[in-house]
């Protein structure tokens, strides 16, 4: 019995030694559970070479945490639950007139479906409320949106502002209401030197 225990211990030590030599590190269940889609293994998450990966509608809303980050969609996203968020006001637009989104989102030819925003007393309303200098949004499809705001209201961007901002190879379908004007299916208002190519 003692010999078996000693042999088993030696075997375990050999395996652990091989793992360490190979640079392998075992993760505990707690470490795995604490990981989110925004915590990537490599350094400098949210950069052009290592964008945040978006998997669901909660990840979309969390884009507000880094308005200058780089993002990419991993799959189609059903945002229908946003109809019931915030007592019916729905999704909170990413960026506003004070803190504009200045990062990048590559939709990867995936779609965001049934996004709901109902904020008739608020301006700069869309998936992106207000996008700033140098923003890039591409290959993104907004399907069956239901978006309402005061003015500068769009299915994808409410107000695309400043220079060298681009919305490319993207479209939006559904309903857009701008109670005081400046509404558009894709972009509510697109400033000079901002590029919008559907």
Domain extent listing, the chain: 1-32, 36-197
State residue 142's pLDDT score.
97
State residue 1's pLDDT score.
54
Which of the residues in the chain have pLDDT under 50? 2-42
State residue 163's pLDDT score.
63
State residue 191's pLDDT score.
74
State residue 190's pLDDT score.
80
User: Residue 194's Cα: distance from chain center in Å?
Assistant: 21
State residue 167's pLDDT score.
83
In b/e form, how buried is each residue of 91-100, taking b as 16+ CB within 10 angstroms? bebbbbeeeb
State residue 31's pLDDT score.
34
State residue 40's pLDDT score.
43
Q: Which of 172, 120, 185, 173 shows the shortest CA–CA distance to 151?
A: 120
Which 8-state DSSP code applies to residue 58?
H
What DSSP line would sit under 69-105, residue for residue? -EEEE-S-EE-GGGGGGGGGTBSPPB--SSS-B-SEE
CB 186 within 8 A of CB 156: yes
State residue 193's pLDDT score.
55
């Amino acid at each position: 019995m003692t010999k078996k225990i000693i042999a088993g211990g030696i075997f375990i030590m050999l395996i652990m030694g091989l793992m360490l030599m190979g640079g392998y590190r075992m993760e505990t269940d707690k470490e795995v559970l604490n990981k989110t889609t925004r915590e990537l293994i490599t350094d400098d998450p949210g950069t052009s070479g290592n964008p945040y990966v978006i998997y669901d509608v909660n990840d979309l809303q969390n884009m507000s945490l880094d308005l200058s980050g780089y993002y990419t969609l991993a799959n189609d996203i059903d945002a229908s639950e946003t109809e019931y968020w915030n007592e019916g006001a729905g999704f909170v637009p990413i960026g506003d007139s004070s803190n504009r989104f200045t990062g990048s989102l590559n939709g990867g030819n995936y779609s965001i479906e049934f996004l709901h925003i109902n904020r008739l007393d608020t301006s700069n309303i869309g998936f992106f409320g207000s996008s700033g200098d140098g923003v890039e949004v591409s290959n993104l499809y907004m399907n069956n949106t239901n978006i309402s705001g005061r003015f500068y209201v769009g299915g994808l961007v409410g107000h695309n502002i400043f220079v060298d901002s681009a919305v490319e190879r993207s479209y939006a379908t559904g309903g857009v209401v701008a109670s005081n004007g400046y509404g558009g299916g894709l972009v509510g208002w697109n400033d000079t030197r901002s590029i919008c190519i559907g």
